[in-house]
Chains A and B, each alone.
Chain A
């Protein structure tokens, strides 16, 4: 059963703590992306990776970090430097030069 897994579905953290969001895919897709969605706004790109061991900053990378040690995995760390971390985080993938992105179910992060 191919797909994109994001865990957990809901995550709660105290302010000042780093937290890592998981994204795993078994679609054998090359590129992976992280977005955040805030109420009334579109999806904003945080980081993306086109191949293993390579990644680029998106539009709102400050306060976030990523790694791409395996093709299947692209974890996102929300650091204490991120000023407004509470949001809905979405991971996506594309295959090769494909333009259609496939999305995971998302993780709702709440920081208090």
Chain B
């Protein structure tokens, strides 16, 4: 059961325009979400996160929006740059917050290509 879904395997955007990457989830107990960026043959790097008590979090060119009623989050990149071309994964921690580390459930990723 894939609890975090990224239904668009790829997205192409012109440089300077907005990139919008989408993620849907099924588990209403998820209380935190993370976005990771991954280049080929490298490990993912953390990009931005959002707690379920918020509906927006912004960091420079990157903004994540959370719509809890729709169980949907999106990552906006404005303006898009060629260096943003990578695979983007959304992820959510499983279980409840406690003294132990929590596992992450990842979506299948979206390949973003920013065209010069």
Q: Name A102's contact: one of B41, B46, B49 (CB within 8 Å).
A: B46
B20 within 8 A of A: no
Which candidate, A12-20, A76-84, A103-111, is the interface stretch facing chain B?
A103-111
**Does B45 lie at the interface of the complex (its beta carbon under 8 Å from any beta carbon of A)?**
yes
Which residues of chain B from 44 to 85 have any CB-CB distance to chain A below 8 Å in the complex? 44-46, 49
Q: Would you give the shortest CB distance from B31 to chain A, in whole angstroms? A: 10
A79 to B99, CA, bound (A): 32
From B104, B108, B109, give the contact of A101 (CB < 8 A).
B104
Known: A45-B103, A97-B97, A97-B99. A90 touches B108 (CB 8 A): no
Given A42-B109, A100-B34, A105-B43; A30-B49 close (CB under 8 Å): no
* B34 near A41: Cβ-Cβ < 8 Å: no
Q: Tell me whether A58 and B34 are in contact in the complex, defined as CB-CB below 8 angstroms, given that A40-B108, A105-B42 are known contacts.
A: no
Taken residue by residue from 1 to 39, chain B's Cβ proximity to chain A (1 for < 8 Å, 0 otherwise) reads as 000101001000000000000000000000010101000
B78 to chain A, nearest CB (A): 23
Answer whether A108 and B41 are a contact pair too, CB < 8 Å, given A99-B32, A100-B46: yes
Are A106 and B41 in contact, CB atoms less than 8 angstroms apart? yes
CA distance A17 to B10 in the complex (A): 36
Which residues of A have CB within 8 Å of B49?
Answer: 99-100
Task: Judge whether B41 and A42 touch: CB under 8 Å.
Answer: no
Question: In the bound complex, do residue B101 and residue A50 qualify as a contact, i.e. CB atoms below 8 Å apart?
Answer: yes
Contacts of B103 in A (CB 8 A): 33, 45, 48, 58
Q: Do A41 and B108 touch (CB < 8 A)?
A: yes
Q: Tell me the residues in window 81-116 of chain B with beta carbons closer than 8 Å to chain A beta carbons.
A: 89, 93, 97-104, 106-109
A11 — which chain B residues lie within 8 A by C-beta?
A: none
Q: Which chain A positions have C-beta within 8 A of B41? A: 9, 88, 105-106, 108
When A and B form their complex, which 7 residue pairs have the shortest distance between CB atoms, in order from nearest?
A103-B43, A31-B101, A42-B106, A43-B106, A42-B108, A94-B101, A103-B44
Interface of A toward B, CB cutoff 8 Å: 4, 6, 9, 30-31, 33, 35, 40-45, 48, 50, 58, 88, 90-92, 94, 96-106, 108
